[in-house]
Amino acid sequence: MPPIVRGKSFDSASVLAHPAVCAEKPDLKGFLPDELREFLARFGKEKYRTNQLLRWIHGKGVADFDQMTDLGKEFRSQLKAEARVEYLAERHRAVSRDGQTTKLVLGLSDGRKIETVMMVDDGRRTVCVSSQAGCALGCRFCATGQIGFQRNLTAGEILDQIHHGARFFRARGASGEEFEHPVTNVVFMGMGEPLNNYEAVLRAVKLSGLEMGLAVSATRVTISTAGVVPMIYRLASDLPKVGLAISLNATTDEVRNSLMPINRKYPLKTLLDAARHMAGVSLRRRVTFEYALIEGTNDSDEDARRLVELVSGFPCKINLIPFNPVPRQPFRRPGQERIDHFHRILWERNLTVTVRWSKGDDIAAACGQLQASVPS
Ligand code: SF4
């Protein structure tokens, strides 16, 4: 680890990822335990102090040093002078009609905004996190893509979204159940392309798995990508326990090029080779393909048959997602009959396929709808 000099220490791009944050004190929320231990050694603090601090930050989700009452006044003052703990302010909250999906708009320290979505389903309490403010990949069916890229989130900013989810689920549980682990699943399907902010995402996954913290095992984390092929190979080697979801959405390069510009760089064949590799090394043993069904674009019988061919021979699951409307886009959702027919073709070929009716589309919290807007 590099020597600690404020603003330059902890040179991981994921801890100090953009100029506004670099000018600030280091964010302890994004430190791995060894790094925190080393940081505290500056103050001549014993090892057990690291665990105390980890418990406050990751176990209790506390960001204010003054609330860390067992740390001693002088130590807390030192920490306040030298460090900070990331906390994103809630700017807006929307709850879906069925009460199962809640969307938070959270403010970053530089004034930008991101969205985080919490979903309750069948005993699962899932947080869908953003990895970037905006996104550079410009998929044509996606509201986030229309914003353009603003910046990468730091590991602390990603992690704090999961803490918001934990607080939210704990508060829900207060009226009934008590949750030992308030968050059961984390999906990187919010704003941004997670594999284009790889180091921060990797760090956030490691930190959310801390037993004395949120204890979300990597096996309960899913990372969704538009197809950043080289990083899929890295992910397979660094985090073989996480689930990989690939946003596929087309069965020919021509259509995929028109929907997802990244396909020009990493066409279908190279993407599927990477998916096959991940399925081979993944402890989950299979990859999920997300396929947004768009009327007249990718929903024909030929598309269904090509999809069967494309994924034949390796373990996978296909999620068909009837397209969720996005402002200023010409795309439409196919009718129910077409969706059912497309589904049947895959199902009859023995593929594992589900139709995923997005939750929270009435509050613009569904796939492809996130744009971090606060109603005026
Ligand atoms: Fe970015 Fe994902 Fe939207 Fe594509 S679908 S623009 S990768 S956020």
pLDDT tens, per residue, the chain with 376 residues:
332 222 223 333 444 444 444 457 999 999 999 999 999 988 787 778 899 999 999 999 999 999 999 999 999 999 999 999 999 999 999 999 888 999 999 999 999 999 999 999 888 999 999 999 999 999 999 988 888 999 999 999 999 999 999 999 988 765 555 677 899 999 999 999 999 999 999 999 999 999 999 999 999 999 999 999 999 999 999 999 999 999 999 999 999 999 999 999 999 999 999 999 999 887 777 999 999 999 999 999 999 999 999 998 889 999 999 998 777 778 999 999 999 999 999 999 999 999 987 666 676 666 666 666 665 5
Q: What angle (nearest 5°) sits at the alpha carbon of residue 117, between those of residues 111 and 118?
A: 135
Q: Which atom of ligand 1 is nearest to the CA of 145?
A: 6
Question: Looking at residue 92, what is its pLDDT?
Answer: 95
C-alpha 42 to ligand 1 mean position (Å): 42
Q: Which atom of ligand 1 is nearest to the CA of 189?
A: 2
Q: Report d(CA 167, CA 154) in Å as an integer.
A: 20
Coil, helix or strand at residue 50: helix
- Region of residue 249 (left: phi > 0; alpha: psi -120 to 50; beta: else): left
Dihedral angle of Cα 254, 192, 22, 217, to the nearest 10 degrees: -120
Q: Which atom of ligand 1 is nearest to the CA of 135?
A: 1
Coil, helix or strand at residue 116: strand
C-alpha 354 to ligand 1 mean position (Å): 22
Question: Looking at residue 42, what is its pLDDT?
Answer: 82
Question: Looking at residue 330, what is its pLDDT?
Answer: 86
Token pair in block for residue 315: 């373990």
Q: Is 115 a catalytic residue?
A: yes
Kindly name the residue from 135, 142, 316, 367 that is annotated as catalytic: 367
Kindly name the residue from 115, 157, 193, 290 that is annotated as catalytic: 115
DSSP string, 320-370: EEEPPP-TT----PPPHHHHHHHHHHHHHTT-EEEE---TTGGGT-STT--
Question: Looking at residue 359, what is its pLDDT?
Answer: 66
Cβ-based neighbour number of residue 97 at 10 Å? 10
Cβ-based neighbour number of residue 305 at 10 Å? 14
Q: Is 24 a catalytic residue?
A: no
C-alpha 226 to ligand 1 mean position (Å): 7
Quick: pLDDT tens for 108-149.
Answer: 999 999 999 999 988 899 999 999 999 999 999 998 888 899
Question: Looking at residue 318, what is its pLDDT?
Answer: 97
Residue whose structure tokens are 């308030």: 182
**pTM of the full predicted structure?**
0.90
DSSP string, 223-251: EEES--HHHHHHHHHH-TTSEEEEE---S
Domains and CATH numbers, the chain: 12-82 (1.10.150.530), 89-363 (3.20.20.70)
Kindly list the protein residues whose Cβ atom lies closer than 6 A to any atom of ligand 1. 135, 137-139, 142, 144-145, 191-193, 226, 247, 368
Q: Which atom of ligand 1 is nearest to the CA of 224?
A: 2
Q: Report d(CA 368, CA 79) in Å as an integer.
A: 40
C-alpha 93 to ligand 1 mean position (Å): 22
